Amino acid sequence: MAEFDVDLFVIGGGSGGVRAARIAAGHGAKVIVAEEYRMGGTCVIRGCVPKKLFVIGSHVQQEIEDAAGFGWIIPEVRFDWPTLVRNKDKEIARLEAAYTTNVERSGAQVVKSRAVFEDTHTLRLATGQTVTAKYVLIATGGAPNHGAAIPGIEHVISSDEAFHLPELPKRIVIQGGGYIALEFAGIFAGFGAVVTVIYRGDNILRGFDEDVRKHVRAEMEKQGINILTGCTIDKVDKHGREFITHLSNGSSIACDKVMFAIGRHPNVANLGLEKSGVAINPKNGGIQVDGWSKTSIDNIYAIGDVTHRVNLTPVAIREGHAFADTVFGNRNVAVDHATIPTAVFSLPEVGTVGLTEQEARAQFSQVDIYKAVFRPIKATMSGRDTRVLMKLVVDCISDRVLGCHIVGDSAAEIVQAVAIAVKMKATKADFDATFALHPTAAEELVTMRTPSARHVREAAAE
């Protein structure tokens, strides 16, 4: 008789948990995946995928406006928000079914239930049934965090609710300055809403390259998005169907919806972690793990947003795959969290990989900056007032390209390819030796010959 019911019990049916389950099953493990809500997790159900669909839809109005410069005469158009939401729901349902099918085809079992720890090897389902597992993987992701409670917090929505609004708000106030806040600012503005972004810091996109932060803000403001920094929302009043947001600077803004996108917290509550002995990282509130995604308990692992390391879907997938290969595939695979490309599907789009200028200057003694800001070819005919930013950060001594930062149309698509070169430690000479693909915006990456800035750090006095 087997010592355990299964070899692996995965808590959470998101991208990371599903990848781990499929790979482990492929290695011959007996696997159960427990998901209390919908298979696919945050990314598929209420994150990356529906967000990108909304982003694509929001760009149509801009395409219509730009078409006139190319000779297109388009009669008055009308946008229907409920149709967008309905069609998005159909696509998400299709993807959810595909996730379930793919897990089951791999040989793993899907259980639609919440699972909590009874001890280090035992999980209890909502039905009361218990399952014992040799290994347990926690992949429960994260959830929106509204921060400290303020008067009227019950009137505030998160990105979760934004995907299911019955109608498009004519005016919306969004608090936050990161990925989610800026992406939804662009979405609502693209569909015709009046958008105000409130952020407590001195500028949006904290942690990104300073040139990127400045460029994105300037371009968003050109699109009519109002960005107020250095303040927060202290109170929200409701008057009929209208809301009044009261800001810390003493001003107030009337709107139809108030959305908070100020961060996410790891889903660690009510999992019975106290019975498992799994430790929480005191610095970030996520589950504490080592370089192999192992928790403080030898047979329990955690991946993805619940660890609060790098909260990106491809990272969770890579961590899940590495875990399964290591534990069930008889080969040790560690995840390298350096040089992770990332994108912000804002208006305009951001794609970035590697070090920012500030990070490079702190780590390397001599840094060259190559930067181009230019009007894209499409704008020369459409008449749109917009600029593209291309930036390379280079170690002057080794000539290695340390970082690439792009703001403009298709920035993420371009950076995905550039990330390969950066990961391979390509040099600026390698970029220079590459033929330009003309006429494109991306050709600037291989035609910038003269540094726009050179930074040499003075040696410390002896």
The token duo for 454 is 């050179």
Q: What confidence tier does 459 reach under pLDDT thresholds 50, 70, 90? A: low
Give residue-wise pLDDT tens across range 230-244. 999 999 999 999 999
The Cα–Cα gap between 84 and 191 comes to 11
Give residue-wise pLDDT tens across range 310-329. 999 999 999 999 999 999 99
Annotated catalytic residue 438: yes
Nearest Cα to Cα of residue 289 among 319, 255, 256, 254: 319
**At which residue do the structure tokens 């005016």 appear?**
171
Nearest Cα to Cα of residue 417 among 459, 446, 374: 446
Average pLDDT over residues 386-409: 98
End-to-end CA distance of the chain: 70
DSSP state of 459: P
Burial bucket for residue 380 (CB in 10 Å: 0-12, 13-18, 19+): exposed
Average pLDDT over residues 142-163: 92
Q: What confidence tier does 296 reach under pLDDT thresholds 50, 70, 90? A: very high
Instruction: Please give the sequence-ordered ranges of beta strands (E in DSSP) within 113-256, or none if there are none.
Output: 115-119, 122-125, 130-138, 142-144, 171-175, 194-199, 226-229, 233-239, 242-247, 252-255
Average pLDDT over residues 247-267: 95
The token duo for 36 is 């209390």
CB-based contacts of 29, cutoff 8 Å, min separation 6 = 6, 7, 8, 324, 328
Residue 460 in this model has a pLDDT that exceeds 60: no
Q: Report the amino acid identity of residue 7.
A: D
What is the reported pLDDT for 29?
97
What domains sit in the chain, N to C, each tagged with a CATH number?
A: 6-144+265-328 (3.50.50.60), 153-262 (3.50.50.60), 348-456 (3.30.390.30)
Cα 36–chain centre separation:
23
Q: Which of 308, 321, 438, 455 is catalytic?
A: 438
What is the reported pLDDT for 148?
82
Give residue-wise pLDDT tens across range 359-375. 999 999 999 999 999 99
| Greatest C-alpha distance within the chain | 76
Instruction: Classify 54 in phi/psi space as left (phi over 0), alpha (psi -120 to 50) or beta.
Output: alpha
Query: What is the pairing mode between strands 342-344 and 142-144?
Result: unpaired
Q: What percent of the chain stands above pLDDT 90?
A: 94
CB-based contacts of 1, cutoff 8 Å, min separation 6 = none
